[in-house]
Structures are given as C-alpha cells and as structure tokens.
Chain A
C-alpha cells in the first residue's frame, strides 16, 4: 500500500496543514484564547457548577449573617453584616484555587495536558489560558456574591465627587489580585496531586485558612496565639483592606498588620505569586522529564 497510500496521506495533509503564516506571538495569544474559550464553555454547558462553587460562601453568609448575626459583635462597633460581606468576597476568591487545582488534576490524569503538549500549540497557553479563565470566572463569582449581598442589605460606599467608585474598584482589584496569586497555588497543587480523589482534601486546608482569619471575626476576639496567626493570614489583610475601601466597619485594632492592611493586601498576593508562579512553571516543565 506504500505508493498510493502515502499520496492520499499527503493529500489530506495538505488540506489540513496548520497555518504557519502568523508569528509565534499571534499563536500564543490565539492558543490562550482557545483555552479560555474551553474553560468558559464548561460554564456555559454546566452553569450550575458556578453555584456549587459559591454554595459554601453563600451558606456561610446565611449562617453567620442570620443565625449568628445578632450574637456577633464587631470591635469598635458597626453592623456585623456589613463587616461580614467583604469577608465573604475574600472567601469566594480564596476558595477558587480549588477549582484551578481540580481542572489541572483531571487534565493531567486523563492525558488532556499530554495531548496539548503533543500538539503544535504554545505550551505556555495551557497554564496562562487557565489563569485567564479563572480571573474571568472570579469576576462573575464576585458579581453573583455582591448581588446576593446586596439582596441581604449590603450597601457599599461609593464616595462622591471625583473619587466616586474609586474605593470600590480598588477593593475589587485587591480581591482579583488575591485570586491571581492563588491561581499559581492551584496550578502547582493540580500538577502535584496524584489524582482527583485528593482534591477534596484541599478543603481541609481552605477551611481552617478561612476560619483563622478576620473573615468571620476580628483576630482581637480570638485567643492571643490564634489571633496572631489570624493577623498575619493573607486573607485577613485583603479582608481588612476591602472593608475599609467598601466603607464597612473594619473591626481593626492597633497591630502592625491591621494598620497596614492595604499595603499587605497588595504585598501578600505579590509574594505568593513570586513564590508559586515559578513553582507552577517548574512543575509544568517537569512533565517533560
């Protein structure tokens, strides 16, 4: 079958040869976009999955806002629900890395990542496209959470005059910065974990991480040693900074991390990215070993 068959192969090959006429940068961006499209199509096909991801933060709002709400006291005074809502937004972005890890674990396990890597696409698009998808999804999640909060009586302060909305935008930017940093934690973990069964175990990390922070209560109200841990939790810094920016009671004391919440809310994500971005890239490169 040698002669005729190879001609046939070349004929189909000609019809379906990739288009090399664009440069490498063009294809890297195009590949990224196609990976993003894949991620967004997931949500289009299974829109309910976004609600599953938000289930825990929403339940927490209901539990703490309504069940415990009256019993909760914010140090320095102020409405507990107004205090709680920014915390919930932080929790929403913080838990997002579990979904980043989940998709990477599944893709690695099922060979989808290997398929991508065996294709003439830009390898970096596999990771970068996922990161971009996660940021877009995080925006949608925050939108849903804010709408939920609004429905429960949350009213952020927008300020007035030329500063109108600036605080709000800054707060959202800080939340997304945290999500961005956690993307790399998720990619790293996703490539590290042996299988999807272990992903559930990540909640065992997330849960204490959100509890031992200023998300629900001020660290001042915790036992001293626990409060110290909570003060330095990156989630506390983002929560503290966004509370101030949303014009909510911050419940903050005089400790250094509380006084510099805004600085830390920028510094923590930067530090996490500096640490975990190279780790994630190294993990990805190690796939070729």
Chain B
C-alpha cells in the first residue's frame, strides 16, 4: 500500500505470448480520483496491461497493485474493488437491462434485495429507466455501453478500467458515454482509460501514459505532452506548386521558434508561431498582396496524434473522422509554447 495517492501502480510488468513480448517492463502510476489515459496503437500492449491489472490474465514478471492490493496474490480482493468495461459491451442481450444489473448484482454478492435496489438506482443514474424492462439486445450502441458501464459500477469500485469504451460508437453515443464517465469521476471513481481515439483522451484524461511495444514511452499531463511537439502552427495550403515559395516567405515572416516547412505533395506550408491571431492575419495579408490564391489557411494546435508521431515516429492507426489536417513532425526543436 503506497498511501501517496496512487490507486494503480505497476512496475516492470512483463507478459509474453510465445516469442512476442506484449508487455516489456511496463510502468504505470494512476492518481486517485483522476482519469488516466493509456494511449497507443493496436498491439502496443494497452489491452494486455488492462487485463493484467483487472486480474484476467497472469503476469510473467513485475509487480502491480490496485487499490493497494497485489493483483497476482490477492486477485479475489482486487475483483471486489474494480469494475471492467472491455471492448465489447459485456451484457446479456436476451435479458432486460434490469435483469442484467440484478444478475450481476447478485453475482457481486449484494444479496437479492440490495441487488434489486442497486439495479434501480443505476438504471436511473445511467438514464436507462425507460428501457429498463426491454431486452438489452434491442438497445442502441450507446445504451448498451451505458448498461455495460452501469454493470461495472455495481460495487462503486475504487478503480474502473475502460478498455476502448467507445470503439464502434457513433459520435452521439460516444458523447453519452463520455458524459457518463465524467459523472463517475465526479463521484470519486478513478478511471484507467485505454483508447485509440486521441480526441477521447483529450476530452477525458488529465494524465496520459503513451505505450508502445509493451513499454511506457511517455507519462505526462496533456499540456506537457503537447508542449513536447511545440505550440501552435500557422498553416497555408496553396493551389499550385509555383506558389509554394510565396507561401514559405509569408510564413517565414511570422515563424517563431522553428523553420517553415513545406509539404510539396499536399501544397502545404507551415511554421510554429507565438502570436496566433497576428500571425494569421499577417500571412493572409501578405499572400493577398501578391495575389496568391489560397486553398486553406488556419491555425493548427498540436493534437495527440502529433505527440504520438513525435514519440514513436509512427502515426496511431485509427484517427477520428473529424481529425484536423496533419503535418509532419517539426524537424527543428520548437520552443515550448
């Protein structure tokens, strides 16, 4: 037991599947009462880490505690302190929402009466009362997820593991799930969230561990991670290759803390800036002055995708549909914004 405010602690976790090292000395520390994001591409080891911490698989090396309990030596005790929401909504589709929660409540050893009470309470909390007595198979994706979350919350666990909770959901359902998660954290649950959606980590997590090839390669606050790739950038997209030199000149006038860069294929020019609005209008004025037609112009804040690219040299595999235009990682060391 640490007593220093960390509710999940992992040191040098190792897990091998044949020759493959799913986890290779993975470290993690999650502070109580926060949403901690675990970010990485497919196959980086996110799910393996969650499965070890939630006692579903045995670890091959290292040490992990959840709520002060050793996951390898006290799995039963750990299980009564955690909730798990995996990649699929783990609910019984033939039973109704209420029957699901009552069944899980009884299997959490609440006893029949309290299982009933708790189910009713959770149905209200997760806004499922109207559909409570309908078969869960007919629920929308967002409702299933909420029911799934409710089932994870039956014991009001100290730690909730959310493994890609919104994968495959439409934007509206995703918003519903995010809202439910925020509510839980406001009530004091600590959440470990794995996700491939950078936007999701951006919206929910206050601290992020980036995992790649079974190791934690960064652990920082959101702002700290973003600062690593530098601050805002101004970006111009022109219509013809011949116009790129003009665009380079234009952004060079306002560049601060790094050289302008050009992407010839996409006719894109960009540079780090400090004065956001001033730089933008200066670039626009300059290009207008020389009569250069502009396809697009704007300010880009670094996204977590940029962070990931910077840390690993690779992009994450899936990106949200509304992803902002991307640019290459800056070659020069940008001044921290």
Q: Which residues of A contact B (CB under 8 A)?
A: 1-2, 5-10, 12-13, 15-20, 27, 30-31, 34-35, 37-38, 41-42, 45-46, 109-112, 114-121, 287-289
Which residues of B44-83 have CB atoms within 8 Å of chain A's CB atoms? 54-58, 76, 79-80, 82-83
**B91 & A112 in contact (Cβ 8 Å cutoff):** yes
Instruction: Please tell me the size bucket of the interface on B.
Output: 35 or more
Minimum Cβ distance to chain A for residue B161 (Å): 8
Chain B binding surface, main DSSP class? loop
Q: A118-B84, A289-B58 in contact; A1/B107 too (CB < 8 A)?
A: no
Q: Which residues of B contact A (CB under 8 A)?
A: 5, 32-33, 54-58, 76, 79-80, 82-84, 86-96, 99, 103-104, 106-111, 114, 118, 135, 151, 154-158, 185-189
Cross-chain pairs A/B with CB under 8 angstroms, 12 sampled:
A2-B5, A2-B33, A6-B33, A9-B187, A12-B187, A13-B158, A18-B110, A34-B103, A45-B95, A115-B86, A118-B56, A120-B108
**A114 & B109 in contact (Cβ 8 Å cutoff):** no
**A38 & B103 in contact (Cβ 8 Å cutoff):** yes
**A120 & B189 in contact (Cβ 8 Å cutoff):** no
**B56 & A18 in contact (Cβ 8 Å cutoff):** no
In angstroms, Cα B245 to Cα A278, docked, is 73
Q: A288-B56, A288-B57 in contact; A8/B188 too (CB < 8 A)?
A: yes
**B187 & A5 in contact (Cβ 8 Å cutoff):** yes
Q: A19-B111, A27-B109, A34-B107 in contact; A117/B56 too (CB < 8 A)?
A: yes
Contacts A2-B33, A7-B188, A115-B90 known; list 17 others, CB within 8 Å.
A1-B186, A6-B188, A9-B188, A16-B118, A16-B156, A17-B155, A30-B106, A37-B103, A38-B103, A45-B94, A111-B86, A114-B84, A115-B104, A118-B82, A119-B107, A120-B79, A121-B109
In angstroms, Cα B79 to Cα A109, docked, is 21
In the complex, what residues of B have CB within 8 A of residue A118's CB?
Answer: 54-56, 79, 82-84
In the complex, what residues of B have CB within 8 A of residue A31's CB?
Answer: 107
Q: Which residue from chain A places its CB closest to the CB of B109 in the assembled complex?
A: A18
**A288 & B58 in contact (Cβ 8 Å cutoff):** yes
Q: A42-B95, A119-B104, A121-B109 in contact; A109/B186 too (CB < 8 A)?
A: no
